[in-house]
Structure 1
Amino acid sequence: MSWYRIALPLLMVFIFSTVMSSAKEIMKISEDELIMRGLLYDEYKAYENSYQVYKRLYDDTGEEIYLFKEATSALMSRNHILESITRLKRWDKVNPNRIEVRRLLIPLYLTIRQVKNATIEAEHLLEQSKEPMDLDLASNSFLYAGKFKRALDLLNRVYETVPREEILLRMVDIMDEFTGESKKAIQLLETHRRMNIVSHDVYVKLLLLYQKEKDIDGILGTYKALYKQDNDEQYLTKIIDAYIYKRDIDGAITFLEADQSRNDILYELYKTKKYFSKALALVDKLYEEDQNSKWIAEKGVLIFENSEDKNDKKMIQDVISHFEKAIALGNDDSIYLNYYGYTLIDKEVNVKKGINVIENALIQQPDNIYYLDSLAWGYYKQRKCDKAYKLMKRVVDEEGLEEPEIIEHWNAIRQCK
């Protein structure tokens, strides 16, 4: 066991055993020991005790340092505030224009909500000092007093001298909530972000402001910056969502082509835009990545959709072979079963087999209108007109006559009946 692990518990026993020490007991302790105790109390945040120690030291010595430490302990403990103010003011009369007194009186007054007195002291402080720390301190008084423009002006002067993020965020909060300058707040945040490494607090505030302004491009740009900084997939998802919300699929495609981390999403977007040749160029890569037979079936779909001649027999056989390979590898997704079965039926390659494949798809989704349409088309090809008509009527009743393929099938099957 190290010395530190032995000494620390003993030190804590010493510290907290003296918490209960009365003022009378403190009176018996030497100045050197009181100083040591005060420092230890400060270190362990026992501010009530350090207040008593520094008060005794000031009363005994009259040294200003102890008065200031006494007031600081009162401030930290949020206790003895009025007494500390009285003692500071009394000392101030004898020792006027000491800036340390202003620096203590402002937060002491604010602690007990004496805002007017705090602003008076703030004005005195500003007459004595133009230091950033003093401008910052004075701004709190004006903020509490509802003088938001004055507070903002002081913080802006601080930020121009010391461009710290925490100052900027306080300025932005004032501009957003009190002065109605959210657009200017955004400009300040964006400038700061581009010139500095920033925390997530800046990005969160930017997102909130952009949402309030309903600025989708701003939201998108912020998520892009977050993604570039953290490479976190949650931000990539937000980026794609923003592009979709904007109905800018091509923008999302361009972004994902450059990013190259989510080819699966890129593939779906290619299909959405009917960029089948691009999707074909990508599908083999996707299969190489995970060996999922889904991509073989997808390639069958793409070969057909990308073909200029939808009746080309060689192309149709290529499509069918891809579906059969995917099924042989265990892929029985009803979407691909329906596409495969419908191809067999519509191109009259093997109508009976196509109907069997569609029936297997319907086992998975018995009420899927598109699968029922495919089955009705199979019955039509077999000239089983009554069965085709009953199924197709159900499709039309539920789906209506808006899709060209349903209209074509419905007209043909009615004539067959």
Structure 2
Amino acid sequence: MSCYKKIIILFLFLFAINLQASKAYGNEDRDILFAIEFERLNDVSSAKFLYLKLFEKSNNYEYLLRYLSLSLNQRKFKEVKYYALNNLDKESLQYEQILRIYIISLINLQEFKEALHSSRTLLSQNKSALNYEIVANVYFAQRKYKEAIEYFESSYIVNNSPKVLFNLVNILYAYANEKNKAISYLETHIRLNGCDYLVCSKLLSIYQEQKNLDGIISVLKTSYFSKNSNSYYSKDKTLNLLISYMAQKDINLAISFLEKNKLSDDTLFALYKRANLLTKAYLLVKKIYIKNKEIDYLAQIAILEFELAKNKSKVLNSVIEKFEKVLRVLDNHVYQNYLGYILIEYDKDIKRGLMYVNKALLQAPKNVAYLDSLAWGEYKLGRCKKAKEHMQEVINEVGEDDLEIKHHWKKIKECLK
């Protein structure tokens, strides 16, 4: 919420309070407006001065609460302690809120004995989740983790708050060395209440720390399908993360998940290629291209059409036509080299093939695949000395382990004899 909206809400709230009660003094409305304006201008000291004046003249505890809240934000804990303690009135509607603020000031001043006494008094008067949490925080500040856990658990039992559970789990996991109990709390909450961001993100971070792939996948899957999730991640980001971890465990698991749920054809296409499921990739990329007409996918169709063909010569014209259409739009060095190499290898148009390869090399001059294509084109034109110079660069860089490179190197050396 923007600061401007907060100021408007605060004004309406204080103005409504003022309407409900008779004015304590003539300039009360003016002082409310000035105090709110000072807040908007971030002149906190002036705003506090007016809120305290408003309280002292009207005895309206909402003004005191605003004064104390601003003082807390300034970390003026002695000031908060003084004004909260001296204005505790059990008859006021704001008594509990002021007592809680008083306890917070005591915790920050490390006056734990009085903080514990006051928080226990508060809890005895009202066993709310928030009051259990206040006691828990007093114990936590003293590093009394066993007691803090007990009161955080009581608070969580009352209202199943994700925020309370988050704090409870942090203590169990990081301070009390009860990691399994912490995980159990999180898993149970998700199973019963859905995937709240705080809870799911905490469990996810624990599983990531433990490198528990099954756990990570389970949380991300729950988060993705949860209708009530207010996840930090968007649906797309959650899905991408989920698929990444699934593929890390087993690429077929990721493929199966996307196929079953009919999700993200782009990601599925990439996985098909990684898994060398070229027929599936070819059928899917044709479907994607028909749907969105993105020219890059036409290049992918051309590559797969060529790779899958048992008789390459039969598909050459179709593949070349597709690549030429693509390269009229895209300046892509991968596709330039691919088309260039086909034109060279199959003697369709060696000079034009070299033209495409040289274009690719302008963008990636050290790419050994492109240098290999260049050397092979020069060889095909009978320029064996040039071919050897380029091929020597390839051999120096990657050696002769690749069968195609080994074949080209052999032919080029024979050409020079």
**TM-score of the superposition, structure 1-length normalised?**
0.72
Note closer, same or farther for the CA distance 1:188–1:257 as it changes in structure 2 (3 Å cut): same
Note closer, same or farther for the CA distance 1:384–1:247 as it changes in structure 2 (3 Å cut): farther
Residue pairs, 1:196-275, within 5 angstroms: 196-228=193-225, 229=229, 231-243=234-246, 246=248, 248-275=250-277
Whether the 8 Å CA contact 2:387–2:412 is kept in 1: the answer is yes
Note closer, same or farther for the CA distance 1:396–1:118 as it changes in structure 2 (3 Å cut): same
Note closer, same or farther for the CA distance 1:302–1:197 as it changes in structure 2 (3 Å cut): same
Give how far 1:372 is off.
1.4
Matched with 1:313 is 313
Name the CA distance, whole Å, in 1 between partners of 2:208 and 2:139. Answer: 29
Instruction: Please point out which of 15, 38, 41 is paired with 2:60.
Output: 38
Whether the 8 Å CA contact 1:165–1:198 is kept in 2: the answer is no
Residue pairs, 1:62-141, within 5 angstroms: 78-80=80-82, 84=86, 109-110=106-107, 112-119=109-116, 135-141=132-138
Residue pairs, 1:354-369, within 5 angstroms: 354-369=353-368
Note closer, same or farther for the CA distance 1:168–1:112 as it changes in structure 2 (3 Å cut): same
> Which residue type is aligned with residue 313 of structure 2?
K
Give how far 1:168 is off.
1.0
Note closer, same or farther for the CA distance 1:401–1:243 as it changes in structure 2 (3 Å cut): farther
Matched with 2:24 is none
Matched with 2:386 is 387
Name the CA distance, whole Å, in 2 between partners of 1:332 and 1:136. Answer: 62
Note closer, same or farther for the CA distance 1:350–1:21 as it changes in structure 2 (3 Å cut): closer
Matched with 2:167 is 170
Give how far 1:172 is off.
0.8
Give how far 1:21 is off.
5.8
Note closer, same or farther for the CA distance 1:348–1:133 as it changes in structure 2 (3 Å cut): closer
Instruction: Give the aligned CA root-mean-square deviation in angstroms.
Output: 4.2
Name the CA distance, whole Å, in 1 between partners of 2:345 and 2:51. Answer: 91
Whether the 8 Å CA contact 2:282–2:301 is kept in 1: the answer is yes
Name the CA distance, whole Å, in 2 between partners of 1:78 and 1:128. Answer: 22
Note closer, same or farther for the CA distance 1:104–1:158 as it changes in structure 2 (3 Å cut): same
Whether the 8 Å CA contact 1:106–1:138 is kept in 2: the answer is no
Name the CA distance, whole Å, in 2 between partners of 1:75 and 1:356. Answer: 76
**TM-score of the superposition, structure 2-length normalised?**
0.72
Instruction: Please point out which of 266, 285, 288 is paired with 1:286.
Output: 288
Name the CA distance, whole Å, in 1 between partners of 2:28 and 2:119. Answer: 41
Matched with 2:402 is 403
| Structure 1 unaligned regions, length at least 5 | 27-33, 49-73, 92-98
Question: Match of 2:59, SS?
Answer: helix
Give how far 1:413 is off.
1.8
Give how far 1:14 is off.
4.4
Question: Match of 1:80, SS?
Answer: helix
Residue pairs, 1:172-187, within 5 angstroms: 172-187=169-184
> Which residue type is aligned with residue 154 of structure 1?
Y
Name the CA distance, whole Å, in 2 between partners of 1:124 and 1:38. Answer: 24
Matched with 2:297 is 295
Question: What's the % identity of the aligned pairs?
Answer: 30
Note closer, same or farther for the CA distance 1:143–1:410 as it changes in structure 2 (3 Å cut): same
Note closer, same or farther for the CA distance 1:19–1:275 as it changes in structure 2 (3 Å cut): closer
Larger radius of gyration, structure 1 or 2? 1
Q: How many pairs does the alignment contain?
A: 364
Whether the 8 Å CA contact 2:340–2:354 is kept in 1: the answer is yes
Name the CA distance, whole Å, in 1 between partners of 2:116 and 2:321. Answer: 83
Name the CA distance, whole Å, in 1 between partners of 2:258 and 2:410. Answer: 43
Matched with 1:51 is none
Give how far 1:397 is off.
0.8
| Structure 2 unaligned regions, length at least 5 | 1-11, 19-26, 36-48, 70-75, 91-95
Name the CA distance, whole Å, in 1 between partners of 2:308 and 2:325. Answer: 20
